Amino acid sequence: MPTHSTIVERRRSAASDMDPFLKVPEVAAYLGTSERYVRNLVADGCLTTFRPGRRVLVRRSAVDAFITAHTSPAVGR
């Protein structure tokens, strides 16, 4: 029978697979921008982050929310 810690670890693993953390270079590649632009977005509070130590991690859902919030609808002719 699995222990409580094993069950908790499986849940954490499943949750992170669905909404993984991305490093700044990965966010830059995802957005097609520079790392400096991503760091500016973080500094301006446009992207929510998790900072374990000196690293900066961003959930992919936060990047997707940023894209959605800053996408304008297409204008028809």
Where is 73: in which H helix or E strand? none
What pLDDT sits at residue 18? 84
**CATH class of the domain comprising 16-69:** mainly alpha
Tell me the pLDDT tens digit for each residue of 23-42: 999 999 999 999 999 999 99
pTM, to two decimals: 0.72
Alpha-carbon distances of 47 from 15, 24, 62, 64, rounded to whole Å: 20, 11, 6, 10
Alpha-carbon distances of 6 from 18, 20, 31, 72, 76, rounded to whole Å: 19, 20, 35, 44, 54
Query: Are 59 and 19 within 8 A, CB to CB?
Result: yes
* Ranges in the chain, pLDDT < 50: none
User: What residue ranges do the domains of the chain occupy?
Assistant: 16-69
